[in-house]
Amino acid sequence: GAGVSQSPSNKVTEKGKDVELRCDPISGHTALYWYRQSLGQGLEFLIYFQGNSAPDKSGLPSDRFSAERTGGSVSTLTIQRTQQEDSAVYLCASSFGMGGYEQYFGPGTRLTVT
């Protein structure tokens, strides 16, 4: 079956522009997560969804970041007025639920802000 997909795979944008990153989770997975991975920094948790609800938004770095999930499926992460420090790989993962369920990761979107 299809795994988690993310688009675009690469995005180069100018400082100050808005970007949208998309994640298509595995069908039937109720939990969806966004992480940011910077070189040598490990995975930084951004936000998670249980269904369409995001109970914890405290991981979002600033109010320029927002995310939504519709139909319990596709999710978009939006970064407004991008800054150079936003450059990173953005990873999406989904799972059947929370707790002991493994996460399935997408290949990531590499964002470069020039």
Partner 1 sequence: AQSVTQLGSHVSVSEGALVLLRCNYSSSVPPYLFWYVQYPNQGLQLLLKYTSAATLVKGINGFEAEFKKSETSFHLTKPSAHMSDAAEYFCAVSSGGSYIPTFGRGTSLIVHP
Question: CA-CA distance, 78 to 67, in Å (whole number)?
Answer: 6
- Quick check: 72 binds partner 1 (CB under 8 A)? no
Asked if residue 100 binds partner 1 (CB under 8 A), the reply is: yes
Which positions from 27 to 46 touch partner 1 by CB under 8 A, shown as an x/- string? ------x-x----xxxx-x-
What string of DSSP letters covers 20-51?
Answer: EEEEE--TT--EEEEEEE-TTS-EEEEEEEET
Exactly one of 48, 69, 82, 86 binds partner 1 (CB under 8 A); that residue is: 48
Q: Is 74 in the site for partner 1 (CB under 8 A)?
A: no
Query: Quick one: how far is CA 13 from the chain centroid?
Result: 17
